[in-house]
Structure 1
Amino acid sequence: MIAHDEEGSVLLLTIGYALLALVLVLVSVDATSLYLAQKRTQSAADAAALAGADGFTLEVVDGEPRAELTDAGVREQAAAIVAAGQDVNLVSATTPDGVSARVVVTSLWRPPISTLFVPDGVPLDATATSRTALD
């Protein structure tokens, strides 16, 4: 036999669990979107570094061909890739040693479903390095 003062308590529990499940689903959607945005940012950095490594000048030193990268050549190639691709910003594109290209890009992630538990926007950055070699 059910007491009269406990009537309706299952309904409140059901509503509470449904709200909790809804919040978990919304946060999961936002977390997945953030993960994919970081992967896109990293892919853009990888592509820009790979293109930057192709911005070399070819010289012959002592009868041997040598590929030499310059900061201007790396930046030119990386900027072309970033401009043609996704909405990322090129922060820097340099060559630390004349053989490798290092590229840093940033983007801003905005959640697809805004909730109280997720920030409005998160800045993302990615760094990639690629080397050029003549074999």
Structure 2
Amino acid sequence: MIARLRALADDEDGSILPLILGYMLLAVAVIFVCVCATDLYIAQKRLDSLADAASLAGADGFTLEATGGSVRAELTDEKVREQADVVVTAVSPETRLVSAGTPDGVSARVTVATVWHPPLISPFVPDGVPIEATATTRTALR
């Protein structure tokens, strides 16, 4: 009887190895997903900053309008797009300028877009996620 129990106990050798391998595979998958999510977050923040910079440059493309006793800074869609395009092209050639214009003549609104690709090849994360950012800057004379 004791010999039989010992034989059964000997059969359990190595049974924890598949569990360890399974947990290690799960841990690697979680690390890959976390690295890719962090990179996506950083790419979105960079795109937000680029949209801010492009709208700020677009707001600098104003012309001064003097009517009566007042002076007003007037923006046009063409000037906003021209200024924003220079910034987007200089900073990030792979980013495209979706739209740039002025909704009210004193604000510059710029939308930029790009495609994010994960830094690690992983079957858990899609490849080629489109991201977009919009920023608005208002110009004012004091």
Moved over 4 A (4+): none
Shift of 1:7: 1.9
Aligned to 1:39: 45
Two-structure CA RMSD over aligned residues (Å): 1.2
Alignment TM-score, normalising by the size of structure 1: 0.95
Residue type at the aligned position of 2:14: G
Q: Do the aligned residues in 2 keep the contact of 1:44 with 1:88 (CA within 8 Å)?
A: no
For 1:127 and 1:9, the matched residues in 2 are separated by: 55
C-alpha distance in structure 2 between counterparts of 1:118 and 1:80, whole Å = 33
| Unpaired stretches in structure 2, ≥5 consecutive residues | 1-5
The one-letter amino acid of 1:75's match is R
The equivalent of 1:68 in structure 2 is 74
Q: In structure 1, what is the equivalent of residue 23 of structure 2? A: 17
1:6 to partner: Cα distance: 2.2
C-alpha separation between the residues in 2 aligned to 1:93 and 1:110?
Answer: 25
Unpaired stretches in structure 1, ≥5 consecutive residues: none
Task: Give 1:1-135 correspondences, 5 Å limit.
Answer: 3-86=9-92, 87-135=94-142
Work out whether residues 89 and 106 of structure 1, in 8 Å CA contact, stay in contact via their aligned partners in 2. Answer: yes
Task: Give the alignment's TM-score, normalised by structure 2.
Answer: 0.91
Please identify the structure whose Cα radius of gyration is greater.
Answer: 2
Give the fraction of aligned pairs with identical amino acids, expressed as a percent. 61
User: Which AA in structure 1 matches 2:90?
Assistant: A
